[in-house]
Amino acid sequence: MSATGLARPQSPPWRRSVRRFVPPQHGAWAMLLVPYLVGVLAAGFGWAHVPLLGAWLAGYLLSYYALQAVKTRRPRRFRAQLLLYAPVTALLGGLVVLAQPRVLGYAPIFALLLAVNAVYAARRDERALVNDLVSVVQSCLMVFVAAAVAGVAPGRVSVAFGAVLLYFAGTVFYVKTMIRERGNPTYHRLSVCYHVAAVAVAAWLAWPLSVLFAALAVRALALPSRSLRPGQVGLIEVAACVLLAETVTLL
């Protein structure tokens, strides 16, 4: 009962189920989908990219709840989620491996990066800067995995990988200045310095990228002083992701 004596409205069952099996990590979906889409568009689409997407999303959900189990030291609490996502990941991932066994070459890298995530989860410090950057590297490696599935050499998508990595690493600094580290001058300076350097790196990768990253540097400099809600920050980043994907695929 609420303070007024009226019962609070209950969420519908489907919404409670979604909350139980889908984590409230809205920014993670962009980090999952953009590298995948960029990799597919840069390398060319094949049928195995369909199970790859399913394995990628299910694998993220599996890793999220596995890390939650490590963090809380209560694996039984997440048993239902782990039992759901583990076989889905294994089945779809197996289809990808059958189609293109070379993708297994990336497995040790992902395992190492996940081990770093597990260490930070055990410390209950998963929002540490290094852990965030490790997660960015994991996501961006999907550009190379998508290329491997298409039978394309890594060198042909290296510029796409570099651009995606450069952007998402920058969001780690920028988003902190907009939400958790708002008003922190040290983080603001770090974010601005990173984005200025990113303009030079982007120009080295491919000069059209420098235009986009110059705009991102301006947003990193100017927007932290504005009173923007998290939803508004997210919409700006959605637009940035679209521009990034379009720019990379037109190179």
| Percent residues over pLDDT 70 in the chain | 93
The answer to whether residue 3 is domain-embedded is no
The answer to whether residue 141 is domain-embedded is yes
Give 28 or 210, the one with higher predicted confidence.
Answer: 210
The answer to whether residue 237 is domain-embedded is yes
Angle between helices 142-149 and 26-43 (to 10 degrees): 40
Structural domains in the chain (count) = 1
The answer to whether residue 2 is domain-embedded is no
The answer to whether residue 50 is domain-embedded is yes
Q: Average the pLDDT over 90-96 and give the result.
A: 97
The answer to whether residue 1 is domain-embedded is no
Residue 210's pLDDT band (cuts 50, 70, 90): very high
Residue 2's pLDDT band (cuts 50, 70, 90): very low
The answer to whether residue 8 is domain-embedded is no
Question: Range of 224's domain?
Answer: 25-249
DSSP per-residue codes, the chain: --TTSPPPPPPPHHHHHHHHHS-S-HHHHHHHHHHHHHHHHHH---TTHHHHHHHHHHHHHHHHHHHHHHHHT-GGGGHHHHHHHHHHHHHHHHHHHHH-GGGGGGHHHHHHHHHHHHHHHHTT-TTSHHHHHHHHHHHHTHHHHHHHHTT--GGGGHHHHHHHHHHHHHHHHHHHHHTTTTT-HHHHHHHHHHHHHHHHHHHHH-HHHHHHHHHHHHHHHHGGGS---HHHHHHHHHHHHHHHHHHHHT-
What is the per-residue pLDDT across 133-175, written as a single tens digit (0 to 9) for each?
A: 999 999 999 999 999 999 999 999 999 999 999 999 999 999 9
Confidence (pTM): 0.90
Q: Which residues, including other chains, have CB under 8 Å from residue 184's CB and lie 6 or more apart?
A: 176, 177
What is the per-residue pLDDT across 56-79, written as a single tens digit (0 to 9) for each?
A: 999 999 999 999 999 999 999 999
